[in-house]
Amino acid sequence: MPTAHKSPKTPATPDRESLLTMARVAAQQAYAPHSKFRVGATVVVRTARGPRIVTGANVENASYGLALCAERAALAAACALPDAIRPTERFARMATAPEISHVALACIDAPADASLASRMPCGACRQWFAELAPHATYYVDGHPRNLTLADLLPDAFQLEPNAERPTDDTSASQPTR
């Protein structure tokens, strides 16, 4: 069976273990004085020059509800990447979400015998995944299986269910001013 020749200039996406390792390293920079539960996340963004990796760590606040999860910190950084490939241009003056192929997360303070549930992303992050990384492969440190959005958030709420899918139906295009 012939093998495809890949350009040496285009870096490959790191494998599962490498992405999880990056998430563990990112978690070491977490600001988590209240929970003392450090989490790191790795997000792989598609760019014209190959996959680009951004990381995030959780940032807590004395007003607990204002804490930011590692997953959302990394996704926000991914959105800010100027060279990210963005699948559609629905609004002339607004960038659309970047193409995200993989998300990895690691809770480095979870005890070795911690339940799987305590290592999984929270509901708020899953809703962010539904909007920003619906086609990503998800790696959760300690979870034996690679996951999809359907595993994490089946029947996810979406304001526009087909917003990310371009259509040939020109009547569906946005009005211009």
Catalytic residue among 71, 99, 131, 160: 71
The CA distance from 53 to 44, in Å, is 5
Closest contact distance (angstroms) between CB of 22 and Zn ion is: 18
> Of the two residues 53 and 105, which places its CB atom closer to Zn ion in the complex?
105
Contact, 138 vs 129, CB < 8 A?
Answer: yes
**122, 146, 158, 167: which one contacts Zn ion (CB under 5 A)?**
122
Please say if 71 is a catalytic residue: yes
Q: Is the dihedral of CA 16, 129, 33, 30 positive or negative?
A: positive
Confirm or reject binding of residue 123 to Zn ion (CB under 5 A).
no
CA distance between the termini of the chain: 54
**22, 30, 105, 125: which one contacts Zn ion (CB under 5 A)?**
125
> Of the two residues 95 and 122, which places its CB atom closer to Zn ion in the complex?
122
Instruction: Give the CA diameter of the chain.
Output: 59
Contact segment (CB under 5 A) with Zn ion among 16-24, 64-72, 87-95, 144-152 equals 64-72
> Of the two residues 84 and 125, which places its CB atom closer to Zn ion in the complex?
125
The CA distance from 4 to 90, in Å, is 34
Which residue do the tokens 């192929």 mark?
101
**39, 57, 69, 133: which one contacts Zn ion (CB under 5 A)?**
69
